[in-house]
Chain A
Amino acid sequence: MRRIRGEMVRSPRRAGLRWLLVPALVAAIGCGGGGGSTGGGGTPTTPPPGTPPDLLADAPAIEPGTAAMRRLTEVQYKASIADVLGDDVVVGGRVELDDRRDGFLAVGSSFVSVTPAGFEQYDGIARSVAEQAIRGSQRAALVPCEPVAATGADDACAREFVRQVGRRLLRRPLDDGDVESRVVVARETASELGSFDAGLEAALATLLLSPEFLFRIEATEPDPGRSDRERYSSVAMASRLSYLLWNTTPDEELLAAAERDELLDDASLAAHLDRMLDSPRLEDGVRVFFDDQYGFDQIAQGLVRKDATLFPAFSQALIRDAREQTLLTATDHLLTEDADYRGLFTTRRLFMSRTLGVVYQVPVLSPAGFEPHDLPSGSDRAGILTHLSLLALYSQPGRSSPTLRGKFVREVLLCQDVPPPPGNIDFSMFEDQSGDRRTARDRLRAHNDNQACAGCHALMDPIGFGLENMDSMGAWRASENGAEIDPSGQLNGTSYDDAVGLGAAMAGDPLVGPCLVQSFFRFALGREIAPGERAFLDWMNARLSERGYHLREIIRLIVMSDAFRSTSGPRAAAGEARS
């Protein structure tokens, strides 16, 4: 059994430094003999500068999974509207709720539909957005022609408008059926209300309510030489790339290339992929992945609450900043630094706002916004597990929860299943805080005495005990109810003394990297992994564990694969036999 003490592993800022610091870094986490399997704060390798067209030359064959349309998430819906109609268009109000399935909203998006109440909301937003777009400063950019008269219908100009803006909204060239139904709407409204622009507003609103705007319905076509599968059309690939990498609708350059069928062959797909990977907008896609994986939508919706008496320092502003801190840290580490994902559990680099500084008890100079901050060596915290965001999210409103925190680590970060609790259990021993049951560890120790509980809690609680020095809102504490907290424990056979050591054990755990790959794969595909894709994932992991779990490389491997570019056919409804 290895034993890891919390050690400082600083993520080097500049690429030039990386080479100098790597030997020291490997020594610091004491992974002698462990080879590349101990990720630490980085790896000795860098990813290739671009995507070689033959990237997957050695990869095993893939039998891809099924296809299903995906409803735009709330963030995608808003970003797509802003991209097409202008940043100053305000999308007010709620939209239909995203649904989490198998751990991801991205997977849920391929199951949800629209309820009557949800359609009402989409309708209200569509009308408001259309009005802002046509009456606002962006009208000139959106309307490519001037009508014969501003006070009436003009089919020709309306047709031009619908064709142009509709192509961007529906993410494909419009056919005559799409266009003419909107020209009728524009004509009717313009005539009745005596205003050409009122007609455009009405036509635009119907485009925003089209099922092909609200859902990504991606066209497939026969895959030459493969009768057992369909491939996504070039135009469909534009949406698949854009929503995955940038979390929004394709830009003009991508859509135009797609219409020239450029997203089908390896070389030009690789070129477009590289342009998107190099764009600052990649951050939008990566942020959404972590928002989704960590369940941060709860924070955005204001659902993480703490008891006002017990945690007077807690506020919605604090928890919103905490989410931002974690997302900034993750994107800095994975994109700016291009560092190994596993280092996220040990890095002492994070980003601070003044609000957060109060709880972390560190000075923050910037009066507003975030500044980079390096926790000192010997700090009680390191890595994202010690971020306020995750600590507060995976706690109860009045009390920390080693079980919830441990469950999060097992299920979300290690991709392990934790069975549900059995029925008919006497839980009363966990409530008694008198005598010798003052800490969570004391209370939960009772599980060990109960065979029905012990197995599963042994999977979760020890991980959570490592984080017990941080209370329900993530603030440091040395004791609970007057008793000193013992944060030691073990993870998959590696013992640790405290939260910093737990982070180091995570960074070295062989499940951590493959879990990221599996999670990102499901996020990217919006569905479970198909059996015919397992061998490909194994191949990816063999390669990445050697070369480092660099996120851009993971994206490259997935996007270039047949899992992303083709499908075995449409998904059958539940209860129907697969065709």
Chain B
Amino acid sequence: MTRAISRRTFLRGTVGGAAISVGLPLLDCFLTGNGDALADGGALPVRFGTWFWGCGMNPDRWIPAVEGPDYELSPELQALAPVKQHVNVISGLNTILDGRANYPHSTGILANITGTVSGTEGGVSAPSVDVLISREIGKTTRFRSIEMAATGRPTQTYSIESEAVRNASAVSPLELYARIFGAGFADPNAGSFVPDPRLVLRRSALSAIKDDVARLEGRLGSHDRQRLDQYLTAIRQLELQLDVSLSGPPDLDACRKPPAPRGEDLGTDLPQTRATHEMMTELLVFALLCDQTRVFNMLFSWSLSELRLPGAEINHHQLTHDEGVDQDLGYQPRATEFALASMDAWAGFVARLAAEPEGAGSLLDGCLVMAHSDSSFAKSHDVNKIPFMTAGRAGGRIRTGLHVALPGEPASRMGLTMQQVMGLQVGDWGTGSMQVNRAIDAILA
């Protein structure tokens, strides 16, 4: 948490306009509370992310035959060969519905990330696991979390604060670049740092809006009070963002500003999505190196995957339903191409983070990424044997390179494990049959 500082004190201290070099004591008060995380590249931040693809896989071809560290990659996991040592495959987890309706492509995914099966289509009754984690570890960074979708559709997001508030995905790499590395970014390689007095004034002016909120609260019913509380949270996040900008460039050896993306072509043709995904991954790498956020969500394709080959009449999701199972092969060859392409993109994502040095290891070593899908066999909207994976060692907190089979166990064990690894004090999580109190200890270091 940021220590309290009088606004007037700070105004007097910075508005003189004098150049102030990085790390001036005056500005240290705006550094993150756990200053050790930023000091000398010593203990580096640990980040949490999700990576989602739609329409699942073929369980018989995806789940490895053997458990443990010496498993062989299954036919649908071949793309992971170069990154196998960085990844855990967690198989067999079920969304347990307790008799509630399985709304296709929505019930499973929403239950898995919130720990609760909703009785309504698209409904949620609890925040998603990334939000729970960002509320704890996102309090000191410029962005509490960053959501991205490689599909061109900002409404496609599984980062959920509440029924009413879903964090929209950034869909344009150009806009994402401007948001993270534009005017508000304190560039460590831009020479001496001069705090902008205008930022201080903006920070101060936000209190007028908080006053507005305070004046309104008594007038409203409970529905609107909740919405106004969300609004207040959003204001506080901007205050924090200004504090971080005013505290000077990040004191991280690996931090540098990336080149701006050159053009973009948004859409769900497979080549479009793959290119967008790669551009966003690139921006994410630098955002993490510069500690602009510690939580991210990457959506490769929507649960009703609209991925399509150029020239094809129908898309991935339609193929999962319309294409017959080839009697010789035992699966749907065209639909499966998209599952393979998704695994290939995921492997590329992991490889990119693993290739980036940070501290004594790689950027990936300081991350915990959970990859998952909405279903297993999408043709029948099956929410048993949901595919999960993790990548990264979370700063040494987990082991990797394993296949862990948990047949029939509630999928919420995944979310509980993610929260515990990220340091949240949560003993049990979820409701109904999805209520769990056991982390997946096989992957804990």
Binding site for B on A (CB under 8 A): 66-69, 94, 96-97, 99, 111-120, 123, 127, 177-178, 181-182, 184-185, 188-189, 192-193, 202-203, 205-206, 209-212, 215, 217, 219, 303, 305, 307-310, 396-399, 420-421, 423-432, 569-576, 579
- Is the CB–CB distance between A113 and B227 below 8 Å? yes
Chain B residues with CB under 8 Å of A189's CB are 201, 205
Which of B64-72, B209-217, B283-291 makes up part of the contact surface? B209-217
Q: How far is the CB of A533 from chain B (nearest CB, A)?
A: 19
Report which of B153, B212, B312, B323 forms a contact with A398, defined as CB distance below 8 A.
B312
- Within the complex, what minimum Cβ distance (angstroms) separates A165 from chain B? 14
Question: Which residues on A sit within 8 Å (CB–CB) of B315?
Answer: 396-398
Residue B152 lies at the interface, judged by CB distance under 8 Å to chain A: yes
A164 to chain B, nearest CB (A): 17
Given the complex of chains A and B, what is the CA–CA distance between A573 and B230 in angstroms?
13
Q: Are A118 and B168 in contact (CB under 8 A)?
A: yes
A211 touches B212 (CB 8 A): yes
Binding site for A on B (CB under 8 A): 11, 15, 102-104, 121, 125, 143-144, 147, 152-155, 161, 163-168, 170, 175, 179, 197-198, 201-202, 204-209, 211-213, 215-216, 219-228, 230-231, 233-235, 237-238, 241, 267-268, 306, 308, 310-315, 318-319, 321-325, 379-381
Are B325 and A111 interface neighbours, CB within 8 A? no
Instruction: A579 to B168: give the CA distance in the assembly, Å.
Output: 32
Contact A431 B322 (CB under 8 A): yes
> Smallest distance from the beta carbon of A567 to chain B beta carbons, Å?
10
Task: Give the 9 A-B CB pairs with smallest separation, nearest first.
Answer: A570-B221, A428-B324, A398-B313, A119-B234, A427-B321, A116-B237, A113-B230, A431-B322, A113-B227
Once A211-B216, A398-B308 are accepted as A-B contacts, the answer to whether A424 and B380 lie under 8 Å apart by CB is: yes
The answer to whether B310 and A428 touch across the interface, beta carbons within 8 angstroms, is: no
- Our pick among A66, A117, A399, A420 for the contact of B168 (Cβ within 8 Å) is A117
* Chain B contacts for A113, CB-based, 8 A: 164-165, 226-228, 230-231, 234
Q: A193-B201, A217-B216 are in contact. Are A428 and B168 (CB under 8 A)?
A: no
Q: Which of B209, B223, B267 contacts A571 (CB 8 A)?
A: B223
Distance A118 CA – B157 CA, assembled complex (angstroms): 14
Docked complex Cα distance between A219 and B103 (Å) = 39
Task: State how many angstroms separate the Cβ of A91 from the closest Cβ of chain B.
Answer: 16
Q: How far is the CB of B438 from chain A (nearest CB, A)?
A: 28
Q: With a CB–CB cut-off of 8 A, which chain A residues contact B222?
A: 570, 572-573, 576
Name the A residues within 8 Å of B238 (CB-CB).
Answer: 116, 119-120, 123
> Given that A117-B147, A310-B311 are known contacts, is A420 also in contact with B121, CB under 8 Å in the complex?
yes
Nearest CB on B from A517, distance (A):
26
Measured in the bound complex, the distance between the Cα atoms of B163 and A310 in whole Å is 39
Which A residues are CB-close (under 8 A) to B102?
423
Q: Which residues of B contact A188 (CB under 8 A)?
A: 11, 201, 204-205
Q: How far is the CA of A394 from the CA of B266 in the complex (A)?
A: 21
Q: Which residues of A contact B220 (CB under 8 A)?
A: 69, 217, 570
Q: Is the CB of A206 within 8 A of B310?
A: no
B168 and A119 contacting across the interface, CB-CB below 8 Å? no
The distance in angstroms between the C-alpha atoms of A571 and B220, with both chains bound, is 9
Across the interface, name the chain A residue whose C-beta is closest to B125: A575
Question: Is the pair A309, B237 in contact by a Cβ cutoff of 8 Å?
Answer: no
Asked if B227 and A307 sit within 8 Å, CB to CB, the answer is no
**Interfacial chain B residues near A217, Cβ < 8 Å:** 216, 219-220, 224
Structural contact, A397 and B308, CB atoms closer than 8 A: yes
Q: Are A423 and B322 in contact (CB under 8 A)?
A: no
Instruction: Given A193-B197, A193-B201, A211-B213, decide whether A117 and B221 contact each other with a Cβ distance below 8 A.
Output: no
A sample of 5 inter-chain contacts (CB < 8 A) reads: A94-B154, A119-B237, A217-B216, A307-B308, A427-B321
Selected contact of A574 from candidates B104, B154, B163, B216, CB within 8 Å? B163
Docked CA distance A179–B12 (Å): 25
| A127 vs B202: C-alpha distance when bound (angstroms) | 10
Q: Which residues of the other chain, A, contact B226 by a CB distance below 8 angstroms?
A: 113, 573
Other A-B pairs, 20, CB within 8 Å; known A119-B234, A120-B237, A178-B215 = A68-B221, A94-B154, A97-B154, A111-B164, A111-B227, A112-B164, A114-B230, A123-B238, A177-B211, A189-B201, A206-B205, A396-B314, A396-B315, A423-B104, A427-B379, A428-B322, A428-B323, A430-B321, A431-B319, A570-B222
Cα–Cα distance between A533 and B234 once the two chains are bound (Å): 36
Q: Which residues of A contact B209 (CB under 8 A)?
A: 206, 209-211
* Residues on the B chain within 8 Å of A118, using CB: 168, 234
Interface centre among B143, B144, B179, B230 (most CB of A within 10 A): B230
Question: Min CB distance, B216 to chain A, in Å?
Answer: 6
Q: Tell me, rounded to whole Å, the shortest Cβ–Cβ distance linking A284 to chain B.
A: 25
Residues of B within 8 A of A177 (CB): 211, 215
Please indicate the chain A residues that have their CB under 8 angstroms from the CB of B168 in the complex: 96-97, 115, 117-118
A393 to chain B, nearest CB (A): 15
CA gap between A309 and B306 in the complex, in Å: 17
Measured CB to CB, the nearest residue on chain B to A205 is B205
Inter-subunit contact B208/A309 (CB<8 Å): no
Q: Output the least CB separation between B272 and chain A (Å).
A: 10
Report the minimum CB–CB distance from A218 to chain B (whole Å). Answer: 11
**A94 partner residues in chain B, CB cutoff 8 A:** 154, 175
Q: Decide: A431 and B234 in contact? CB cutoff 8 A.
A: no
Alpha-carbon distance A112/B306, docked complex (angstroms): 26
B11 surroundings in chain A (CB, below 8 A): 188, 192
Distance of B33 from chain A, by nearest CB (Å): 19
Evaluate contact between B380 and A423: CB separation under 8 angstroms: yes
Contact in complex: B313, A396 (CB < 8 Å): yes
Contact A423 B381 (CB under 8 A): yes
In the bound complex, do residue B221 and residue A571 qualify as a contact, i.e. CB atoms below 8 Å apart?
yes
Which residue of chain B has its CB nearest to the CB of A208?
Answer: B209
Complex interface: chain A residues within 8 A of B211 (CB): 177, 181
- The answer, among A99, A397, A571, A574, for a CB contact under 8 Å with B224, is A571
A571 CA to B152 CA in the complex, in Å? 34
With A and B bound together, what is the CA distance between A190 and B155 in angstroms? 40
| Chain A residues closer than 8 Å to B206, beta-carbon distance | 206, 209
Using Cβ atoms and an 8 Å threshold, which residues of chain B touch A115? 161, 165-168, 230, 234
- In chain A, what residue has the closest Cβ to B8? A188
A116 to B242, alpha carbons, bound, how many Å? 13
Q: Report A515 CB to chain B, min CB distance, Å.
A: 21
State the CA gap A112–B161 with chains docked (Å). Answer: 11
- Please tell me if the beta carbons of B227 and A69 are within 8 angstroms of each other in the complex: yes
- C-alpha spacing A177/B208, complex, angstroms: 10
Q: Which residues of B contact A178 (CB under 8 A)?
A: 212, 215
Given contacts A182-B208, A424-B381, contact A97 B167 (CB under 8 A): no
Q: Report the separation of the CA atoms of residues A426 and B208 in the bound assembly, to the nearest whole angstrom.
A: 59
Residues of A within 8 A of B198 (CB): 193
Q: Which of A305, A309, A423, A573 contacts B267 (CB 8 A)?
A: A305
Instruction: Give which listed residue, B153, B166, B208, B231, contacts A303 with CB less than 8 A.
Output: B153
**Is the CB–CB distance between A212 and B216 below 8 Å?**
yes
- Shortest Cβ distance from B332 into A: residue: A428
Q: Which residues of A contact B170 (CB under 8 A)?
A: 117
The docked-state distance in angstroms from the alpha carbon of A127 to that of B212 is 18
Contact A310 to B221, CB < 8 A, known contacts A115-B168, A116-B144, A424-B381 = no
Q: How far is the CA of A579 from the CA of B222 in the complex (A)?
A: 10
Q: Chain A nearest CB: distance from B298 CB in Å?
A: 15
Q: Tell me which residues across on chain B come within 8 A of A96, comparing CB atoms.
A: 168
User: In whole angstroms, how far apart are the Cα atoms of A178 and B121 in the complex?
Assistant: 41
Distance to closest chain A CB from B317 (angstroms): 10
Point out the residues of chain A lying under 8 angstroms from B225, CB to CB: 573
Give the CA-CA distance A67 to B221 in the complex, in Å: 9
| Pick from A210, A309, A426: contact of B310, CB under 8 Å | A309
A99 to B155, CA, bound (A): 8
Smallest CB gap from B221: residue in A: A570
Nearest chain A CB to B144's CB is how many angstroms away? 6
